[in-house]
Amino acid sequence: MKEFLLHYHYWVVVFLMMTGLYAVVASGNLLKKVVGLNVFQASVFMLYISLGVVDGGAVPILRPEVTVYSNPLPHVLILTAIVVGVATTSLALALVVRIKEAYGTVEEDDIHRRDEAE
Amino acid sequence: MSILEVVSGVLMLAGALFVLTGSVGLLRLPDALTQVHAVGITDTLGVGLIILGLAIRAGPTLLALKLLLILAILVLTTPTTSHAIARAVSRYRSRPWKDGQGRAP
Amino acid sequence: MTDLVLAALFVMMIMTALAAIRLTDLFAVVIMFSIYSLLAASMFVVMDAVDVALTEAAVDAGIATILMLATLVLTDRWERPSARLRMVPLAVVCLTGAVLLYGTLDMPIFGDASSPANTHLATYYLTESPGEVGLPNVVTSVLASYRAYDTLGEVAVIFTAGVGVLALLGAARSGRGGAAPMRDNPVPRVIAKIMIPLIILFALYVQLHGDFGPGGGFQAGVIFAAAIILYAIVFGVDAAAQVIPPAGLKVMMTGGVLLFAGTGFVTMALGGAFLDYDVLVRDPLAGQHLGIVLVELGIGITVAAVVISVFLAFAGRRRAR
Amino acid sequence: MMLDNLAVAQVVAPLAAAPACLLPWRRVAWLLATTCSGFSFACALVLLGAALDGGVVVSEIGGWPAPFGIEYRIDLANALVLTIVSGISTIVLVTAFASLDGEIEPGRQPLFYSVWLLCLSGLLGMAATADAFNFFVFLEISSLSSYALIAMGRDRRALTAAFQYLVMGTIGATFILIAVAFLYLSTGTLNMADMAERLPSVSGSRTVASAFAFLTVGIGLKMAMFPLHQWLPNAYAFAPGAVSAFLAATATKVAVYGLVRFVFSVFGVDYSFGSMPLPLVLAALAAAAVLVASTVAIYQENLKRMLAYSSVAQIGYMLLGISLASPAGVAAAMAHVFNHALIKGALFLSLGCLAWRYRSSVGAELAGAGRAMPFTCGAFVVGALSLVGVPLTAGFASKWLLLSAAFQAGWWPLAVVVVIGSLLAAIYMWRALEVLYRRPASPAPVREAPLVLLVPTWVLALANVYFGFATEYSVGVAEAAAAWLFVATP
């Protein structure tokens, strides 16, 4: 029980990550895979940010009246990762659009069937 | 407790009540048009009241000014969103719900 | 109190995430993802990461959602429920989750100020950056100076995405986007006319105030792009392409990266290391400030141009039959 | 002073030249890309020279000292990888101007060169960096640009291949991100050397063990380690010819280097091979890769696809070397990274020449090409011999090294796997050569490929022969690099 209370933040985040990952690997629809990837990544971002939380800490913008700040480094890393994520997403979506134009479908099973029929 | 605090508390409580009403409407009303009707009106008012309450609590500071700015933007945008949704519904769904029809799919 | 807020946010996030993977109406799925991102942004605010919250809200809940909706317009709205066996993916996911949970067992407790992560580098940045970089926002100091090279990489990533999308979808050509979709709809037009200048003003504020408060080039670039995207949605892609022609966007994309990398080459030419802003001006602190402003400007220009041209590339395409 | 600037410049120059390639003249874009790639190659050679003299070139980017800023650290191991990547890129780019014409319409070619330079920059950055998070950022640059490059192929299957690669690659990159989070959490630092210093004090931590697992799987996805290789065959088969040659020769190699770097320089030999079951897992997966992928390669009709499966098998050889956990094994792996880049470069380029004339890389349609295009097919034969591991070729040198390392470690079953793998390679290469030389030619006359394509192809083919006997430059450097990795571990 004590273990649970101390780590439940991480565990919820892990659950969210796995929800996203499941959508990526189990879904046959390409757009849903992209949504799943985004949920997966957004949850990893939460993992990072939760590492940098300091009890009683403030936003890491220095002011004379504050002494305890949260850790700024995970924030920097995740700023980078968010932008990387949206870059991947836009490329993935462009591919989805082109696949729809080339195959007439965005369902993985149909695409495989059409490739094999060739 | 000062009068201002009481006023702000009452405002925020009233705002929360409105938002709750809107949410109940979203769940209970039969089709998209009626749902937009419920949420569109209560959201603007409810959130507006909450922000007003917060602004009173903040006192005459920069924070209050920012809150009022947010309020001004919300007053502009929330009704526009409702309008856009209602318009989209009226364009793509066949006809609005009539009394006694049961819930729309 | 914070714990309560966190718990409530977590419950909502779990619900939206599950809804996003269970629903088959992809429009609803995308909206669920948008809500999920907005909840994540709220979570970041609670966890003191305001810069990240601003970015998450603008990028994932905003731009990524709009791009997904644009894709939805060009593809199918409904997912076909597949009859495939889902056991293998489930097993993979469970295994991954188990390894992750195993890893969390030895983690320091949430909010521990003495964990290794919160002491070694973090302490250095918090105590030394005022003297070495001289900005109140430590996130900006680390992002644009200590770890500026990561940021250059990130600009390269977003630039790659822009070029990649252009290569796949082609730049928006005028005459393909069709007439303004909301020509006969005065309400959004009037409101957009009021909002767009405000959004651009806010973007400039976020760009220039990033040294002192939350914000910076990325957020500003995305917010600026949002203004143009709103313009394109309300007044038509052609009208937007007239405001910012595709060739201009290419110049902006290029210019931003070159400004960032060029700053690095200049410091190198002045005898410092790559991106060592100390050598830009005689006073190191002034040099740092100048370097950070230049670099953030480069980021903002590239991000804005890439996001706009990616959106226009999607919006300028017609639905395939 | 000069050298540390060079270390950064070789990575940043392609990155900064990439936007300039968007100019609407494709000849200018090609010239710029080739020059820039050549510049990186020159820098890499200078750095390799410095590393051979026993030095480590350290470059503190932004002028911030190591754990606080990001640093580049060029030693023998990554100087070798840098040389391969920029060298292959330059040679392939020389051919690209001619070979692209049939594959990508002229209007999109400047975009192609721009993305290519970004990919080069990403790969070089991954190899040069000494910072765990920076590794992730440059990994994403190279990945994103390779998705775009692959998607530019003519066939519509290039699109699905790129999408599949994108999904698997992003999962891999996110796994690496998770691993970096766990490592950061346990050590409080992102710099590799600093991490290595602090890891022993927390070596019993379950968080570190989990980080190790995620890192291995994440990098495994990027390098197409055996059960995670599904993205690779279609990606290489349907990408434009120049892209297949470049990526096959370099992308997976840099991932192999990344694994070596993390396993040896961050976690340390004792932890990776003592506390973790890495040797057994790697050896089993590598053996499976060699045997299964080589067998699948035999049944491929499309020669590009056959070479792609062969690549999966060859990555197996490199992992076999690493799994031995001895200096000799790692030397064999590093030497094979080098030699395999030459082999696959030559093979894919000569296949590119064939595809340029025949507009196809399916075996049946290339019948009789051996007589129509003798020089192209000659290069293919040299590459094939080297791949199989015939003595006096580069492929033989690294396989010999691997065999002796396996015997030295007493793992003779691995030696058997290497031999069987070579026999399987002989079978599938023989099938390809049989089509080229022994089938009757198609009636339509086909001329030899132009010199712009032929000369670079033969440069790589001759390199296969040269490094077959002048092994001091390939095997010698690899051995020194391996020794360095073992010495430099904490």
Least confident of C155-169, C225-239, D270-284, D396-410: D270-284
Q: Residue B105 domain-assigned?
A: no
Q: Residue C115 domain-assigned?
A: no
Closest CA to D265 of D171, D358, D191, D155: D191
Reported as a single tens digit per residue, the pLDDT across D47-67 is 999 988 878 888 899 889 888
The answer to whether the beta carbons of residues A54 and A69 sit under 8 Å apart is yes
Reported as a single tens digit per residue, the pLDDT across C4-39 is 888 899 999 999 999 998 888 999 999 999 999 999
Say yes or no for a CB contact (<8 Å) between D166 and A91.
Answer: yes
D294-305 average pLDDT score: 91
Say yes or no for a CB contact (<8 Å) between D148 and C275.
Answer: no
| C260 plus C180 within the same structural domain | yes
Task: Give the number of other Cβ atoms within 10 Å of residue A14's Cβ.
Answer: 22
Please tell me what DSSP assigns to residue D154.
S
- pLDDT at position B85, please? 86
Structural domain for C63, as ranges: 1-107
**Contact exists between C and A (3 or more beta carbon pairs < 8 Å):** yes
D230-255 average pLDDT score: 92
Say yes or no for a CB contact (<8 Å) between B80 and C185.
Answer: no
Give the tokens for residue C95.
């295994």
- pLDDT at position C321, please? 44
Helix, coil or strand: residue D53: coil
> What is the least distance, in Å, from the CA of B68 to any CA of chain C?
15
| C179 plus C297 within the same structural domain | yes
The answer to whether the beta carbons of residues C165 and A94 sit under 8 Å apart is yes
Q: Residue B79 domain-assigned?
A: yes
Residue of chain B nearest C182, judged by CA positions: B84
* Residues of chain C neighbouring B73 (CB-CB closer than 8 A): 195, 198
C-alpha–C-alpha distance, residues D249 and D93, integer Å: 13
Residue of chain A nearest D175, judged by CA positions: A44
- pLDDT at position D116, please? 95
> What is the least distance, in Å, from the CA of B80 to any CA of chain C?
6
CB of A51 within 8 Å of a chain D CB? The answer is: yes
Q: Residue B55 domain-assigned?
A: yes
Tens digit of pLDDT at every position of chain A (118 positions): 555 666 788 889 999 999 999 999 988 899 999 999 999 999 999 999 988 888 888 888 888 888 889 899 999 999 999 999 999 999 999 999 999 989 988 888 888 888 888 7
Q: Residue B99 domain-assigned?
A: no
Q: Residue C127 domain-assigned?
A: no
Below-50 pLDDT ranges, chain C: 174-177, 179, 321
Structural domain for B12, as ranges: 3-92
Cβ burial C94-117 (10 Å sphere, 16+ → b, else e):
eebbebbbebbebbbebbbbebbb
C-alpha–C-alpha distance, residues D195 and D218, integer Å: 19
B36-50 average pLDDT score: 88
* Residues of chain A neighbouring C150 (CB-CB closer than 8 A): 76-77, 80
Say yes or no for a CB contact (<8 Å) between A95 and D162.
Answer: yes
| C31 plus C158 within the same structural domain | no
- pLDDT at position A5, please? 61
Least confident of C91-105, D267-281, D414-428: D267-281
| C155 plus C260 within the same structural domain | yes
> What is the least distance, in Å, from the CA of D133 to any CA of chain C?
8
Residue B93 falls in which region: left (phi positive, over 0), alpha (psi -120 to 50) or beta: beta
> What is the least distance, in Å, from the CA of D428 to any CA of chain C?
32
Residue of chain C nearest A93, judged by CA positions: C71
D4-14 average pLDDT score: 90
Q: Residue C219 domain-assigned?
A: yes
Give the tokens for residue A74.
């995970």
D157-175 average pLDDT score: 95
Phi and psi (nearest 5°) for A56? 75, 5
Say yes or no for a CB contact (<8 Å) between A51 and D184.
Answer: yes
The answer on pLDDT for D202 being more than 90 is: no
C-alpha–C-alpha distance, residues D206 and B24, integer Å: 47
The stretches of B29-61 forming alpha helices (DSSP H) are: 32-58
> What is the least distance, in Å, from the CA of D205 to any CA of chain C?
6
D407-432 average pLDDT score: 90
* Residues of chain C neighbouring A58 (CB-CB closer than 8 A): 48
Report the mean per-residue pLDDT for chain B: 85
Determine how β-strand D57-61 pairs with β-strand D70-74: antiparallel
C-alpha–C-alpha distance, residues C231 and C189, integer Å: 9
- pLDDT at position C174, please? 47
Of the pLDDT bands very low, low, confident and very high (cuts 50, 70, 90), residue D236 is: very high
CB of B20 within 8 Å of a chain C CB? The answer is: no
C-alpha–C-alpha distance, residues C35 and C201, integer Å: 26
Q: Residue C123 domain-assigned?
A: no
The answer on pLDDT for D489 being more than 70 is: no
The answer to whether the beta carbons of residues A40 and C140 sit under 8 Å apart is no
CB of A39 within 8 Å of a chain D CB? The answer is: no
Say yes or no for a CB contact (<8 Å) between A88 and D184.
Answer: no
**Interface size, chain A vs chain D, as Cβ–Cβ contacts under 8 Å:** 67
Give the C-alpha distances (Å, rounded to integers) separating A54 from A63, A65, C110. 17, 17, 8
CB of C170 within 8 Å of a chain A CB? The answer is: no
C-alpha–C-alpha distance, residues D155 and D302, integer Å: 13
Of C60, C75, C109, the CB nearest to A6: C109
Least confident of C38-47, C231-240, D118-127, D209-218: C231-240
CB of C188 within 8 Å of a chain B CB? The answer is: yes
- The structural domain count of chain B equals 1
When scoring C6, C63, C75, C79 by the number of chain A Cβ atoms within 10 A, the one with the most, hence best to mutate, is C75
C-alpha–C-alpha distance, residues D169 and D141, integer Å: 12
Burial classification of residue D3, based on how many CB atoms lie within 10 Å of its CB (0-12 exposed, 13-18 middle, 19 or more buried)? middle
C-alpha–C-alpha distance, residues B57 and B61, integer Å: 10
- Cβ contacts of C110 within 8 Å, gap of 6 or more: A6, A7, A9, A10, A50, A53
C-alpha–C-alpha distance, residues B101 and C207, integer Å: 53
Closest CA to A68 of A47, A83, A85, A52: A52
> What is the least distance, in Å, from the CA of D281 to any CA of chain A?
24
**Contact exists between B and D (3 or more beta carbon pairs < 8 Å):** no
Give partners of A (≥3 CB pairs < 8 A).
Answer: C, D
* Residues of chain D neighbouring C95 (CB-CB closer than 8 A): none
* Residues of chain B neighbouring C187 (CB-CB closer than 8 A): 80, 83-84
C-alpha–C-alpha distance, residues D266 and D261, integer Å: 7
* Residues of chain C neighbouring B87 (CB-CB closer than 8 A): 185
Reported as a single tens digit per residue, the pLDDT across C190-228 is 999 999 999 999 999 999 988 888 888 899 999 999 999
When scoring D163, D183, D191, D362 by the number of chain A Cβ atoms within 10 A, the one with the most, hence best to mutate, is D163
- The structural domain count of chain C equals 2
Report the mean per-residue pLDDT for chain D: 89
The D residues from 129 to 148 touching C (CB cutoff 8 Å) are: 133-134, 137-138, 140-141, 144-145, 147-148
> What's CA C277's distance to the chain center, in Å?
25
Say yes or no for a CB contact (<8 Å) between A72 and C125.
Answer: yes
* Residues of chain C neighbouring B80 (CB-CB closer than 8 A): 187-188, 191
Say yes or no for a CB contact (<8 Å) between C117 and D185.
Answer: yes
Of A33, A80, A115, the CB nearest to D167: A33
Residue B44: what residue type? T
CB of C110 within 8 Å of a chain A CB? The answer is: yes
The stretches of D359-439 forming alpha helices (DSSP H) are: 369-372, 374-388, 394-409, 412-438
When scoring D10, D60, D68 by the number of chain C Cβ atoms within 10 A, the one with the most, hence best to mutate, is D68
The answer on pLDDT for D1 being more than 80 is: no
The answer to whether the beta carbons of residues D164 and D230 sit under 8 Å apart is yes
Domains of chain A from N-terminus onward: 2-117 (1.10.287.3510)
Residue C90: what residue type? L
* Residues of chain B neighbouring C198 (CB-CB closer than 8 A): 73
C-alpha–C-alpha distance, residues C237 and C173, integer Å: 9
Residue D415: what residue type? A
- Cβ contacts of D352 within 8 Å, gap of 6 or more: D95, D99, D241, D242, D244, D245, D453, D457
Q: Residue B98 domain-assigned?
A: no
Reported as a single tens digit per residue, the pLDDT across D11-40 is 999 999 999 888 778 889 999 999 999 999
Say yes or no for a CB contact (<8 Å) between C154 and A83.
Answer: yes
C-alpha–C-alpha distance, residues B71 and B73, integer Å: 5
CB of D207 within 8 Å of a chain C CB? The answer is: yes
Residue of chain D nearest C288, judged by CA positions: D62
C-alpha–C-alpha distance, residues C277 and C148, integer Å: 10
Residue C2 falls in which region: left (phi positive, over 0), alpha (psi -120 to 50) or beta: alpha
Within chain D, how many helices (H) and strands (E) appear? Answer: 21, 2
The DSSP-derived string for C51-103 is HHHHHHHHIIIIIIHHHHHHHHHHS-SBPPPP----HHHHHHHHHHHHHHHHH
**Contact exists between C and B (3 or more beta carbon pairs < 8 Å):** yes
Of C152, C254, C276, the CB nearest to D19: C254
Within chain A, how many helices (H) and strands (E) appear? Answer: 4, 0
The answer to whether the beta carbons of residues C68 and A90 sit under 8 Å apart is no
